[in-house]
Structure 1
Amino acid sequence: MPTDPDYSVAVESHAELRRGLDVGLARTDGRLALLAHRHDETDKDMDDLAARVAALENARWPLPAVAALCSVAALAVTVWQGIGH
């Protein structure tokens, strides 16, 4: 091993840079893991919302069916009144 003082300073500086890089990478990994978790939760929420919207769309009556039912009821009332009741 060389006894040059510049060499020992360079080694210490290199070790400090490596520690700083390791800490930065650990923080970045943590943030990416948090973002991935939030993305998964958002996907789950969107799937739940899509299922709820589909259930609401299937449960409602279409407007033409309601209009046809009302017209048939009006025709029945008109015929009933025309007969004399």
Structure 2
Amino acid sequence: MTIPPPSDPAAVAVELEKLRGTMAAGFATVNGSLALVAQRTDQTDRILTDHEQRLDALERARWPLPSLAALVGVVSLALALWQLSQK
């Protein structure tokens, strides 16, 4: 397959300029998409950080529950024994 010689250098220049414009538009689209992906990644990172902080706060707030349950059990046992001793 042979490439025919260009018949008009101006036509080649025009086609190259069109190709350059098409490539520039394509790169602009890709750059816009990458910017959107980067923005969503930042948002996801912020949401994940927020969720981790909230989970840590819940874990810290949860620790006294078993101690409180044991304390309530001991107090109820003491009250039951006290009531039995009063009869």
- Bin the TM-score by the shorter chain: 0.7 to 0.9
Count the aligned residue pairs.
82
What's the CA shift for 1:14? 1.0
What's the CA shift for 1:17? 0.3
Higher relative contact order (CA 8 A, sep 6+): 2
What's the CA shift for 1:27? 1.4
Backbone CA RMSD of aligned residues? 2.1
Residues 61-76 of structure 1 mapped to structure 2, 5 A cutoff: 61=63, 64-76=66-78
TM-score in terms of structure 2 length: 0.77
TM-score in terms of structure 1 length: 0.78
Unaligned runs of 5+ in 1: none
Separation in 2 of the partners of 1:15 and 1:56?
61
Which 4+ runs in 1 deviate beyond 3 A?
A: 61-64
Q: 2:27 aligns with which of 25, 28, 36?
A: 25
Separation in 2 of the partners of 1:65 and 1:30?
55
Q: 1:39 aligns with which of 38, 41, 45?
A: 41
What's the CA shift for 1:15? 1.1
What's the CA shift for 1:36? 0.3
